[in-house]
Amino acid sequence: MNFFISNLISIAAAGLAAVLLLNRFFKNSVFVRVGIVWLFNLLFIMFMVGLKYKFFEDNKPVVIAITLSNIIVSVICFYYGSIAVVKPLSKSVEKLEEISNGNLDVEIDTKDVNPNRDLGKLIIASEKIKQNLTKVVTEINNNVKNLNNSSRQLQLGSQQLSVSASN
């Protein structure tokens, strides 16, 4: 069988199987995207290494070009992975740390978030936590003010009662 056809069949079968399995076990997870990018990277490297050994084993410039293309594609894939996973996750962790340190004025950007994916759920949950904590703290502050006002009124009432009793 032709090298290109057999590799194309192998790549298509492996890619389809991996995508189906990733979607099955990591549905609505960022790991599906990362897994697909990683799969693409591995299949690209596999094809290029096969190409190198099949046709260009003794051709140093082509071997170097194939190696460089593998490195470039790998860097692009890992860069995309970091944009897709690491940045949103680290942003979310930073925001949660700010909230845990008492900063309830922190801005959590939820407009570009997919609420059906795990990172989107995490970011939206962070915003809800902030809103609920803000609500609880506001209610506590209002209750303290009301209690303070009530104690002042009670103090005034007891002073008036004391003055009346003295008279």
Question: Amino acid letter at 127?
Answer: E
Residue whose C-alpha is closest to residue 41's, from 67, 3, 71, 5 = 71
pLDDT in tens, 16-50: 898 888 888 888 787 788 888 888 899 899 889 88
pLDDT in tens, 150-165: 999 998 888 888 888 8
How far from the centroid of its chain's Cα atoms is residue 123's Cα?
Answer: 7
